[in-house]
């Protein structure tokens, strides 16, 4: 009985007991409500095998799922249907679906969508309508104008991957390229910009190669009775509406010269710096074959010739040798012949390896 009374008395006086605090501690006010709450959510993950039973329309609708993993899975199943030619919708619907995902919030969804869209566009670009190309460029522009810099880079990389399948005289493509080149003022986009220009110059080198083949055919077929003189002068009479006009190439040249690294980086290069230097040198050399004379080009050749041969760590010797080859090709007339002979003698083994590879 006494034990029960004592316990009841303690419980009754519990609210009126003085709280003993440690030194430096203060008591919490008794009239404050604790708003810290824990919430739990239940996520039902759909099996990938369920996608295989869906139609193409249902899979496309799943690319709008709130879960990034589900959107990525839907893209992968859509890719398998593309590869097996098991699509029940039009090319416009597929391109619209994947193009919209180029500006997705998730990085991996954007990469997956860009990869699948590139492979799909390679399959159908010859049969699609011009409006479909404009639609594709419009989705690329959405990603390019995104406030997220990572999304902008993904859009630039995607456009680089499909350049060879796009019409050169597309006005929207010219606008996109101009918008990309305007990013040169942001140092965070310098590497992306160099890679994009390198891709542009690869396409230009392909044009130069095809043009040379045409000239060779003209020389061979010059005595043919059916030969038309108009084909010889077609480039001189018609205005070049593609991006590779003289004024645009001069703008590209100025951008490349501005992006060329400082001497401090060149004297102590790492692998990434060597790759970027090589791409700039090759791009400038490609432009130099289209531009007959340019003061900025002459100054750049002169400054680059003073760097020859570029030195670096032994583990990067193959990459540096390739860059020195490009420098020698660009500014050979400005480099002393004896210096080139000494460099060839010193790097004989490496040069042989580079040439064979």
Q: Read off the pLDDT of residues 46-90 as tens digits, 9 standing for 90 and up.
A: 555 555 677 888 888 888 888 888 899 889 888 888 888 777 788
Can you give the residue ranges of every domain in the chain? 48-166, 192-356
pLDDT (0 to 100) of residue 232:
35
- Which residue is it, tokens 């490609």? 286
The residue count for the chain: 357
Alpha carbon 319 to its chain centroid, in Å, reads 22
**CA torsion, ordered 267, 271, 274, 276, to nearest 10 deg:** -130
Rg (CA), the chain: 32
* pTM recorded for the entire structure: 0.71
* Residue 145 to residue 230: CA distance in whole angstroms: 43
CATH code assigned to 48-166? 1.25.10.10
Helix intervals (H) in the chain:
2-12, 48-52, 56-62, 68-83, 91-100, 107-124, 130-144, 149-161, 171-181, 190-220, 234-237, 246-259, 263-267, 271-288, 295-307, 317-331, 337-346, 348-356
- Which residue is it, tokens 């310098």? 190
Sequential pLDDT tens for the chain (357 residues): 556 667 666 666 666 667 677 777 777 776 777 777 777 765 554 555 555 677 888 888 888 888 888 899 889 888 888 888 777 788 888 888 888 999 899 999 999 999 988 888 888 776 666 677 888 888 899 998 888 999 999 999 999 888 877 876 778 888 888 889 888 888 899 999 999 999 888 888 888 788 778 777 655 444 443 333 333 333 433 444 567 888 888 888 899 988 888 766 677 778 888 888 889 988 998 888 888 777 888 888 888 888 887 777 777 778 888 888 888 888 877 777 778 777 777 666 566 555 454
* Residue 141 to residue 125: CA distance in whole angstroms: 19
55 CB contacts (<8 Å, ≥6 apart)? 88
Axis crossing angle, helix 348-356 with helix 337-346, rounded to the nearest 10:
80
331 CB contacts (<8 Å, ≥6 apart)? 301, 302, 304, 305, 308
Q: How many CB atoms lie within 10 A of CB 111?
A: 18
- Name the phi and psi angles at 13, rounded to 5: -90, 5
């Amino acid at each position: 009985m006494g034990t029960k009374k004592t316990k009841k008395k303690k419980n009754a006086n519990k609210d009126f007991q003085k709280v003993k605090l440690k030194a430096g501690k203060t008591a919490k006010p008794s009239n404050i409500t604790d708003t810290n709450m824990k919430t739990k959510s239940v996520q039902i993950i759909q099996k990938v095998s369920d996608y295989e039973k869906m139609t193409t329309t249902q899979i496309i609708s799943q690319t709008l799922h709130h879960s990034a993993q589900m959107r990525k899975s839907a893209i992968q199943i859509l890719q398998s249907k593309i590869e097996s030619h098991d699509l029940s919708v039009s090319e416009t619907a597929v391109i619209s679906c994947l193009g919209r995902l180029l500006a997705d919030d998730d990085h991996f969804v954007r990469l997956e969508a860009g990869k699948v869209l590139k492979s799909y566009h390679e399959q159908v670009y010859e049969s699609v309508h011009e409006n479909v190309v404009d639609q594709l460029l419009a989705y690329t522009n959405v990603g390019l104008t995104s406030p997220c810099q990572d999304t902008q880079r993904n859009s630039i990389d995607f456009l680089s991957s499909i350049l060879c399948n796009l019409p050169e005289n597309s006005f929207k493509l010219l606008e996109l390229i101009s918008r990309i080149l305007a990013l040169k003022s942001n140092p965070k986009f310098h590497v992306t910009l160099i890679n994009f220009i390198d891709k542009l110059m690869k396409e230009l080198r392909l044009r130069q190669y095809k043009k040379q083949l045409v000239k060779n055919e003209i020389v061979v077929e010059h005595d043919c009775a059916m030969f038309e003189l108009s084909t010889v002068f077609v480039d001189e009479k018609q205005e070049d509406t593609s991006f590779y006009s003289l004024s645009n190439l001069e703008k590209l040249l100025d951008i490349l010269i501005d992006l060329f690294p400082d001497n401090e980086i060149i004297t102590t290069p790492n692998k990434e710096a060597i790759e970027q230097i090589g791409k700039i040198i090759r791009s400038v050399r490609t432009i130099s074959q289209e531009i007959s004379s340019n003061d900025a080009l002459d100054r750049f050749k002169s400054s680059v010739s003073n760097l020859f041969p570029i030195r670096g760590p032994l583990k990067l010797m193959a990459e540096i040798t390739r860059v020195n080859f490009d420098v020698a090709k660009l500014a050979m007339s400005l480099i002393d012949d004896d210096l080139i002979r000494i460099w060839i003698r010193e790097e004989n083994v490496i040069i042989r390896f580079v040439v064979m590879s």
